A and B are shown apart, each in its own frame.
Chain A
Amino acid sequence: GAGVSQSPSNKVTEKGKDVELRCDPISGHTALYWYRQSLGQGLEFLIYFQGNSAPDKSGLPSDRFSAERTGGSVSTLTIQRTQQEDSAVYLCASSFRTGNSLSGANVLTFGAGSRLTVL
C-alpha cells in the first residue's frame, strides 16, 4: 500500500484480556519495527524484523508481549493478560532496508498507531 497501515486505530479492553494489533507495512519494505509511545516516555523500542533473520526482541518489556511477521509482510503484536500499564499508542514502522548501506537505510515510515486503553 501507499503507507503503513495499522489496525485497530483504537482498542479498549479490560485488564487480563489478550489483544492483537496488526501492522501492514509498505510493500517491498524488508524491515518492520514496533514501538510503544507513552506520555512523557517518548518512543520505546519493542521489536524489529529484518527479512528472514531472527527478530530483535530485546525491547519487549515482558513475556506477555510477542510479535510475529508472516510471509515477510504483515505483523501482529500480541499482548497477553493486559495490564493498565500497557495502555499506550503502539506504533509500527517499516523501512526499505537496514544495515550499513547509506542509501535508504533505517529511514522509517510510521503508521498512525493503535491506541490501547486497558481499563
Chain B
Amino acid sequence: AQSVSQHNHHVILSEAASLELGCNYSYGGTVNLFWYVQYPGQHLQLLLKYFSGDPLVKGIKGFEAEFIKSKFSFNLRKPSVQWSDTAEYFCAVNARYGGSQGNLIFGKGTKLSVKP
C-alpha cells in the first residue's frame, strides 16, 4: 500500500523567502503525484499534478514541484512566497495501475505561515 510522508509540520517564512516543502512516498510501482492546498476557510484545491513526462511540473500561483523517482520524492517549491500563500499544503499519491489505483493517499499536511 502507498504512504506519504511530509517532513515539516509547520513552516514559518517571511515574505519573499524561498519555499521548499518535502514529500516522500512509499510505493514500488508507477504513481501519479499531487499537491493540494487548503487556504484558511476554503476547500481543498489542486495546486499541481504529475502524471508523466517532464518531472518538473508547474502549477498555479508560481508553485512548482519536481518528481525525483530515485528518491521517491515530489517536493514543492516557490522562489518567493507571499502572505497570501499562507495555507496548509498536502502531498498525495495514487498508484497508476492495479486494484488500488483509485485510492488517493494524502500526507499529514504542512502548514505554511508567511509573515508580512
Chain A residues in 8 Å Cβ range of B107: 42
B:54-101 near A, CB below 8 Å: 90, 92, 94, 96-97, 100-101
Determine the distance from Cα of A110 to Cα of B38 in the docked complex, in whole angstroms: 10
A:60-108 near B, CB below 8 Å: 91, 93, 98-100, 102, 105-108
Q: How large is the interface on A (under 10, 10 to 19, 20 to 34, 35 or more residues)?
A: 20 to 34
Determine the distance from Cα of A33 to Cα of B49 in the docked complex, in whole angstroms: 18
CB distance A102 to B102 under 8 Å?
Answer: no
Q: How large is the interface on B (under 10, 10 to 19, 20 to 34, 35 or more residues)?
A: 20 to 34
CB distance B45 to A110 under 8 Å?
Answer: yes
**Residue in B90, B97, B102 whose CB lies within 8 Å of A42:** B90
Chain B residues in 8 Å Cβ range of A56: 100, 102-103
**Residue in B44, B46, B94, B108 whose CB lies within 8 Å of A91:** B44
Known: A40-B108, A42-B107, A100-B97. A108 touches B102 (CB 8 A): no
Q: How does the 8 Å CB contact mask read for A1-13 relative to B, with 1 for contact and 0 for none?
A: 0010000000000
Given contact pairs A93-B44, A110-B44, A111-B43, enumerate 19 new A-B contacts (beta carbons under 8 Å).
A3-B43, A41-B108, A42-B90, A42-B107, A42-B109, A43-B92, A48-B102, A56-B100, A56-B102, A58-B100, A91-B44, A100-B101, A107-B46, A107-B49, A108-B46, A108-B104, A110-B43, A110-B45, A112-B43
User: B residues bordering A, Cβ < 8 Å?
Assistant: 6, 9, 32, 34, 36, 43-46, 49, 51-52, 90, 92, 94, 96-97, 100-109
Can you report 21 residue pairs joining A to B where beta carbons are below 8 Å apart? A31-B102, A33-B104, A35-B106, A42-B6, A42-B106, A42-B107, A43-B90, A43-B106, A45-B103, A48-B104, A56-B102, A91-B44, A93-B44, A99-B102, A100-B96, A100-B101, A105-B32, A106-B104, A107-B46, A108-B104, A111-B43
